[in-house]
Amino acid sequence: MNRIDAAFARLQSEGKKAFVAYVAAGDPSFEASLEVIKALADAGSDIIELGLPFSDPLADGIVNQMAADRALKSGMTTPRSLELIRRFRETHQTPIVLFTYGYEAFHRDVVAAGADGILLLDLPPDEAASDSTLAGEQGLKHIRLIAPTTPDDRVGLLAKSSSGFIYALSRTGVTGAHGVPSEGIGAQVAKIKSHTTTPVCVGFGITTPDQAAMVAKSADGVIVGSAIVKQVELHPSRAAEAVRDFVAPLIAATKGV
């Protein structure tokens, strides 16, 4: 069973919600990044999303943009990002989702490295269907984003073509803590769930335990990214420790403990 499916099956049996953490691969350095994702796993994160750094992250706010810049300056590349996953897999089995996608060779390489899913950031499902590489999972769960402004007919199409879990945006705009989750999350999640049994996780703007608990009431999981990345920015010499301390109350709130 894919690690993502196994994680949600376990959580469902326990009556708990998933905590999904995002960081940029290689921020602030390869070794520090490795310790950060280990710390996230050890703290109880159920899934870790790794952003492959690139020079023009248009959908990101300033926090994640700067994280990508730091990673690139530290020498991070796609091959190094896959090596990061391989090193993580030596000690941990927490599911890994990559914030990017590619074609046949890329899919083969990331599966071999130990990744479990890819986020199809800007790929329309009808376009994906025309390419055999992107139409089939090939060992990777295909996770799609659904925004509050997504038309109803597209919600159904995206929901039915998703696997692993669905990334529901809590609001419009770029990533970051500059906006709080919408109070309409419950209705948004319910609309998505009317089309699929795939778990729905909500992200964008979640920074506090209260917000995490609010989102967890209606979603299958809570996604926190920029707020975690900010800890790496603020504490580069002790990033793993800072991240672990920051996510502990968020994870507890998500799981209701």
Catalytic annotation, pick one of 49, 69, 109, 127: 49
Reply yes or no: is the peptide bond before residue 181 cis, omega within 30 of 0. no
User: Could you tell me where the beta strands, DSSP code E, fall in the chain?
Assistant: 18-24, 47-51, 96-98, 117-119, 141-143, 145-146, 166-169, 200-203, 221-224
Pairwise CA distance, residues 132 & 6, whole Å: 26
Is there a catalytic annotation at residue 35? no
Is there a catalytic annotation at residue 14? no
Catalytic annotation, pick one of 27, 46, 60, 116: 60
Pairwise CA distance, residues 196 & 156, whole Å: 8
Pairwise CA distance, residues 53 & 55, whole Å: 7
Which amino acids are annotated catalytic? 49, 60
